[in-house]
């Protein structure tokens, strides 16, 4: 059986992971590194871990032939480090504070944890190699790690804080649901437009929003990450808006509007207009943020999408 590579990659991306930077030195003694989220612990006795490296990587030969490597688990404040090491930047290490670890590979400051490893084995695995390292030294800072899922970053501590803070008021879940560059909006009783949304009942969770989108549109739904969390101080409601992707087929409800031509004049709610304006701007760049605040003011926490 053959699978569409892009669809398979998207399915793998449903698994929430942390973000690491794997580092070592090349034969010329220069530090090299790459961003990886295919990391896991393997064994406590002996202490083993693994990461995966694409055979097409320009670092492939140097990393697989090195005597050791380090795995730096990035903290929530290090999205810029992840982006730097995911792209062909000339001097990646100039953007990070680092030193040689006890076993000799580069380890970073301000990470959630680092592991300095001896290369235990390199296993061929299709278009990747599995690097198994024996942990020779490690440090755990206690900082919260940076999260990654479905092509974007998320901040676990931030999400927990803002969602818990809203538990004393009703919650409304909404979605910016997109397909092929168009966003699904619902028509209101007065002829206006709104985002698909529902108020959570007792015992409901995010699955209720996905079910609502399916019921509304009649289309497959791929839930995404949190996009906006704000309190409506007048109505005493907390709004949590997610990104979502809708699948193929004829929609049975709602209306699709191109992202670049959203009819904002038909949307009475100012906070919803702001959400859609920001989405249109960020979608054109491919960099999405998470807004946290109220219906009038707040802060966008940058959550860039890795290339």
Question: CB count, 10 Å around CB of 274?
Answer: 18
What is the reported pTM? 0.56
Q: Please give, one letter per residue, the 3-state secondary structure of 212-274.
A: HHHHHHCCCEEEEEEEEEEEECCCCEEEEEEEEEECCCCCCCCEEEEHHHCCHHHCCCHHHHH
Domains of the chain: 5-149 (2.30.110.10), 154-304 (3.90.79.10)
CB 288, CB 243: distance < 8 Å: yes
User: What does the pLDDT read at residue 164?
Assistant: 41
CA separation for the pair 8, 30 (Å, rounded): 35
pLDDT at 135: 96
Structure confidence at residue 161 (pLDDT):
47
Q: What is the pLDDT tens value at each position of the chain, 307 positions in all?
A: 677 777 777 676 666 778 999 999 999 999 999 999 889 999 999 999 999 999 998 889 999 999 999 999 998 888 889 888 988 777 889 889 999 999 999 999 999 999 999 999 999 998 999 999 999 999 998 777 887 766 666 665 555 444 544 456 788 889 999 999 999 999 999 999 999 999 877 656 677 888 999 999 999 998 777 888 888 888 888 898 988 899 999 999 999 999 999 999 999 999 999 999 999 998 887 778 888 888 888 888 765 433 3
Distance from C-alpha of 95 to C-alpha of 100, rounded to nearest angstrom? 16
Quick one: pLDDT at residue 226? 82
Euclidean distance between CA atoms 12 and 270, whole angstroms = 37
Decide: helix, strand or coil at residue 206. Answer: helix
Tokens in use for 171?
Answer: 């919650």
């Amino acid at each position: 059986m053959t699978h569409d590579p892009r669809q398979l990659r998207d399915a793998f991306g449903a698994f929430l992971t942390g973000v690491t930077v794997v580092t070592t030195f090349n034969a010329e003694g220069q530090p090299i590194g790459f961003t990886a989220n295919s990391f896991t612990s393997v064994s406590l006795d002996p202490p083993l871990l693994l990461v995966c490296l694409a055979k097409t990587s320009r670092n492939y030969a140097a990393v697989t032939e090195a005597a050791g490597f380090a795995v730096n688990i990035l903290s929530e404040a290090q999205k810029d480090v992840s982006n730097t090491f995911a792209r062909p930047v000339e001097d990646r290490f100039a953007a990070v504070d680092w030193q040689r670890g006890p076993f000799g590979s580069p380890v970073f400051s301000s990470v959630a944890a680092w592991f300095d490893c001896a290369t235990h084995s390199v296993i061929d695995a299709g278009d990747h190699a599995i690097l198994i390292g024996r942990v020779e030294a490690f440090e755990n800072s206690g900082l919260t790690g940076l999260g990654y899922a479905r092509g974007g970053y998320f901040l676990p501590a931030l999400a927990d804080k803002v969602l818990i803070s809203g538990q004393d008021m009703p919650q409304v879940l909404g979605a910016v649901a997109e397909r092929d560059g168009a966003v699904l909006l619902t028509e209101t009783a007065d002829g206006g437009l709104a985002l698909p949304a529902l108020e959570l009942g007792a015992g409901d969770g995010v699955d209720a929003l996905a079910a609502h989108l399916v019921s509304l549109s009649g289309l497959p739904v791929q839930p995404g990450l949190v996009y906006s969390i704000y309190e409506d101080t007048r109505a005493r409601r907390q709004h949590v808006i997610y990104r979502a992707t809708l699948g193929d087929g004829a929609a049975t409800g709602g209306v699709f509007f191109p992202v670049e031509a959203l009819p904002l004049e038909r949307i009475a709610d100012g906070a919803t207009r702001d959400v859609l304006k920001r989405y249109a701007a960020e979608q054109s760049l491919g960099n999405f943020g998470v807004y946290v605040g109220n219906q009038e003011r707040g802060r966008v926490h940058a959550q860039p999408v890795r290339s």
